[in-house]
Amino acid sequence: MILTLLKKHQIIVENNVADKSHSTIKVCGFFIFMKPAFGISIWHLLRRTLSCTVCSLCSFFLSNNSNPIIKTSIYPTIKKMQINLVNIGKRYNQDWIFRQCSYQFVAGNAYAITGYNGSGKSTLLQTIAASTNTSEGSIKYSIQQQEITADNIYKYLTIAAPYIELVEEMTATEMLDFHQKFKPFFSDISIPEILRIVGLYKTANKEIRYFSSGMKQRLKLAQAIFSNVPILLLDEPCSNLDLAGYNLYHQLITTYCKQKLVIVCSNDVEEYKFCTEKISIENYKKTSK
């Protein structure tokens, strides 16, 4: 029956001939390397096979070239993380979203990408995350002066955005546990402690589908901010949050993100008022026509 479900939903399971220690699952073109606890892992995937949640997780966390399980120790000095945009541009058909954008981002600083609704802020953020290709120009990533390819930058970033969905059949605890298998959290903090900090401890074992929109946003912020990676990308991070949620957001940024490279996409000054540099997407539309 499981094989039928896998075929029906285009999930391909392959045994690794060279290495019997794991199997490979292909989901929408992405490969997930499964360790011996294969049955538990495939159970999570089958619960949400048709959801774009898995595809979203795959696109940011997985690669068909390497094992997605990342060791905490690979980030000894995240202050040296840099992203350099070199005359990048993005267009759809004949319409340029932005063009000739050059900028340098350095860990330890926070940057805001601003602009009116539909101006291309999210597109620029996704381009920086290497989840969409540039139409012109190039993006260079480096850590400790060692170049990182666009195919591998997913290892070094997390993102919280309206278009990143949660697996709603999971509980908050299960969701964070699933997430940390791809992106480990800070070593000195546990999942129960994370849920306590973001105000979700009492609902830790409640399925996410029963959460309010504000509770879901708190969970998205938790999995992004507490991940032990040097790049944090935030798109409209306070969506659906009340005043207490805004205050929590700023506390999390102040407490846990001082050494990270933070990029916030927003047209709400309350979401990016801590940012030291501001980039207006409109400045890169002058040569777009």
Average pLDDT of the segment spanning 179-192: 94
Picking from 74, 104, 38, 82, the residue whose alpha carbon sits closest to that of residue 227 is 74
Is 66 exposed, middle or buried, given 0-12, 13-18 or 19+ CB atoms closer than 10 A?
A: middle
Shared domain for 34 and 100, answered yes or no, is no
The residue range of the domain holding 14 is 2-72
* Ordered DSSP codes for 181-219: TTSPBPTT--HHHHHHHTT-GGGTTSBGGGS-HHHHHHH
CATH code: domain of residue 109: 3.40.50.300
Shared domain for 8 and 121, answered yes or no, is no
Shared domain for 98 and 214, answered yes or no, is yes
pLDDT higher than 60, residue 172 = yes
Shared domain for 212 and 243, answered yes or no, is yes
Model confidence pLDDT, tens digit, residues 243-281: 999 999 999 999 999 999 999 999 999 999 999 999 999
Shared domain for 66 and 182, answered yes or no, is no
Q: Quick check: is 164 in a domain?
A: yes
Mean of the per-residue pLDDT values of the chain: 79
Shared domain for 66 and 201, answered yes or no, is no
Q: Quick check: is 195 in a domain?
A: yes
Shared domain for 135 and 212, answered yes or no, is yes
Q: Quick check: is 245 in a domain?
A: yes
Please, which pLDDT band fits residue 285 given cuts at 50, 70 and 90? confident
| pTM for the whole structure | 0.74
At 55, phi and psi to the nearest 5?
A: -65, -40
pLDDT higher than 50, residue 108 = yes
Q: Quick check: is 162 in a domain?
A: yes
Query: Comparing 19 with 198, which gets the higher pLDDT?
Result: 198
Shared domain for 37 and 90, answered yes or no, is no
Q: How many domains does the chain have?
A: 2
Shared domain for 58 and 137, answered yes or no, is no
pLDDT higher than 70, residue 51 = no
Specify the pairing of strand 146-148 against strand 23-27.
unpaired
Please, which pLDDT band fits residue 217 given cuts at 50, 70 and 90? very high
Model confidence pLDDT, tens digit, residues 141-157: 999 889 999 999 999 99
Q: Could you give the percent of the chain with pLDDT greater than 70?
A: 71
Angle between helices 213-225 and 243-256 (to 10 degrees): 0
Model confidence pLDDT, tens digit, residues 73-87: 333 345 589 999 999
Q: Quick check: is 101 in a domain?
A: yes
Shared domain for 132 and 238, answered yes or no, is yes
Shared domain for 111 and 248, answered yes or no, is yes
pLDDT recorded at residue 154 = 94
Shared domain for 62 and 95, answered yes or no, is no
Q: Quick check: is 289 in a domain?
A: no
**One-letter amino acid identity for 158?**
T
Q: How open is the CA angle 251-255-261, to the nearest 5 degrees?
A: 105
Question: What is the rounded distance in angstroms from the CA atom of residue 34 to the CA atom of residue 37?
Answer: 7
